[in-house]
Structures are given as structure tokens and as C-alpha cells.
Structure 1
Amino acid sequence: MFIRRAQEILQSNDIVEVLYKNEPIWIERVDNKTETAYVRSLNNDKRMEVPILDLIENKNRKH
């Protein structure tokens, strides 16, 4: 995923399914300088800092 899209998802009122290593996550913050996102796993509530390029938007599933 690109930084711009991660920011769009973060600011959107829509719920967009995003995956990190095939695990659904919630984007909490985007850091433009480091190109990372602070995310929370929807499976176990674990918080992580991950490379934005490793995030995948599931365009087939919008809620």
C-alpha cells in the first residue's frame, strides 16, 4: 500500500478491510517520515509499527 492510500483509509468514515501478513488490522496512525503505520490487530488487539508497503487493502470487502 502507498502512504497516500493509508492516510485516506485512516481519515475515511468507511470501514476498509486492511491486512498485514494476512491478519486484519486497524490503522491508528501513519508516520510519513518513516513510512510506517501504527496498527492494531483485530484478532488479538496487539499494537504494532509496520511498514506501510506491507499493508494490503482488500478491495473486495468494504463494509
Structure 2
Amino acid sequence: MNSPLIHERRRIMAPAKKVDFCQLIHECHSLVAAAKWIDVSIRTVQRARRTVAKNAQRDTVRHDSK
């Protein structure tokens, strides 16, 4: 079972942190710099991006099957 905490950091990005992260990226910060700024690991960012991509793909398949 995966623990939500690794090295005292959450493995899941809270919605407020996602907004802050997107704003930092929009301001031309790198992924690594933005992750450090909001105090999450780059792996957490990668995990969140992968989850969003999977959900978008799943939603596309649902719409296509109707």
C-alpha cells in the first residue's frame, strides 16, 4: 500500500498547489523550480501530470463510445 507521505512530503498535489504551480509555469519558471517553490518533489509533479493525462484519455474514450 502506498503511503501518502514520503520524507514528510505529500505525494498528492492539493488543488491550491496545482493552481500555484500552473501560475509559476506560466511565469516561465522551470518544472523543477516551480516544484521547489511550492514544496513538492518533481516526482509528485510528474505523477499529477500522468494522472491528468490518464483521466483525459479515459474521458475521450467515454465520449467516443457514445
Q: Shared topology, TM-score over 0.5?
A: no
What is the TM-score normalised by the length of structure 1? 0.30
> With CA pairs under 8 Å and 6+ residues apart, which has the higher RCO, 1 or 2?
1
Which structure features the higher share of strand residues?
A: 1
